[in-house]
Amino acid sequence: MARQKIALFGGTFDPIHLGHTQVAEAAAEQIEAEEVVFIPAKCSPLKGFFPRASDDDRLRMIELAIQGGKGFSASDCELRRAAPSYTIDTVKRFQQEYGEETSIYWLLGADSVNDLVLWHRIDELIDACHLAVMVRGGYEAPSFGKHLAALGPDRVEKLRRDVIRTPSIPISSTEIRERLAAGRDVRRMLCPEVWRYICERGLYKRD
Ligand code: ATP
């Protein structure tokens, strides 16, 4: 019997945008994952600052953006842990919950490749799951050669095998926050329910 596959998609999602949901959909199709779980981080260790929107608002925006998305769900497991959010802890938790018969894929955008060797217990993480790097609009195609010395040839080869082809969608949460602070339109970057939520709650206005 084929192993079950699930994709975990971690990020700050401050806010979640159409780039996130569209690449997640394409990734799930390519991996043949039955489920994609969106996991907002309390605080990304490498960003080094807390998100602008509250944990509750970010989780609620994810729920609004994925409603009706086939196989999409959200987990607050990292929000309930103390910051920072380490991916290896989350992967282990899901592996335990789903059992050894399930293959775990962790989705990440190509912009994360440069920093990869700084991730907490990165060797263990690469061994524990499929770190699936997705193409990201505005960034170079993923290339792992620079990590050869730090990670070794077997892990680099595994990363290369796990690259997934997703559409290039040049949207970022930073640009959305900046545009909102400047009173500019962001509707083409967000799902309508998330846009309405941001307006109703007055999120990301200039301080
Ligand atoms: P910010 O601009 O605040 O850094 P972001 O848009 O990069 O935010 P995150 O929540 O940090 O969004 O991203 C979560 C994950 O999704 C990361 O692995 C990131 O690389 C990936 N990602 C975000 N936007 C895209 C996109 N447009 N295409 C592909 N991957 C993306």
Share of the chain above pLDDT 70, in %: 98
Nearest-atom index, ligand 1, CA of 41:
10
Distance 8 CA to ligand 1 centre (A): 14
Task: Read off the pLDDT of residues 3-40 as tens digits, 9 standing for 90 and up.
Answer: 899 999 999 999 999 999 999 999 999 999 999 999 99
Q: Note the pLDDT of residue 94.
A: 98
Structural domains in the chain plus CATH codes? 4-170 (3.40.50.620)
State yes or no: pLDDT of 188 exceeds 90.
yes
Distance 58 CA to ligand 1 centre (A): 14
Rounded CA-CA distance 22/24 in Å is 5
The answer, yes or no, to whether any atom of ligand 1 lies below 6 A from the CB of 173, is yes
The answer, yes or no, to whether any atom of ligand 1 lies below 6 A from the CB of 40, is no
Amino acid at 133: V
Of 145, 49, 130, 57, nearest to 95 (Cα)?
130
The answer, yes or no, to whether any atom of ligand 1 lies below 6 A from the CB of 51, is no
Question: Residue 22 carries which DSSP code?
Answer: H
The answer, yes or no, to whether any atom of ligand 1 lies below 6 A from the CB of 96, is no
Rounded CA-CA distance 77/70 in Å is 21
Q: Is residue 174 within 8 Å of residue 204, measured between CB atoms?
A: no
- Secondary structure (DSSP) of 119-176: STTHHHHHHHSEEEEE--TTSPPP--GGGHHHH-HHHHHHHHHT-B--------HHHH
Task: Read off the pLDDT of residues 36-68 as tens digits, 9 standing for 90 and up.
Answer: 999 999 987 777 678 999 999 999 999 999 998
Peptide bond into 15 cis (omega under 30): yes
Query: Does residue 6 or residue 165 have the better pLDDT?
Result: 6
Q: Is residue 12 within 8 Å of residue 173, measured between CB atoms?
A: yes
C-beta atoms surrounding 207 within 10 Å? 4
Question: Residue 3 carries which DSSP code?
Answer: P
Q: What is the pTM of this model?
A: 0.95
Tell me which of 8, 9, 12 to substitute to probe ligand 1's pocket, judged by most ligand atoms within 8 Å of the beta carbon. 12
State yes or no: pLDDT of 2 exceeds 70.
no
Q: Note the pLDDT of residue 68.
A: 81
Tell me which of 173, 175, 180 to substitute to probe ligand 1's pocket, judged by most ligand atoms within 8 Å of the beta carbon. 173
Q: How confident is the model at residue 1 (pLDDT cuts 50, 70, 90)?
A: low
Task: Read off the pLDDT of residues 123-148 as tens digits, 9 standing for 90 and up.
Answer: 999 999 999 999 877 778 888 999 99
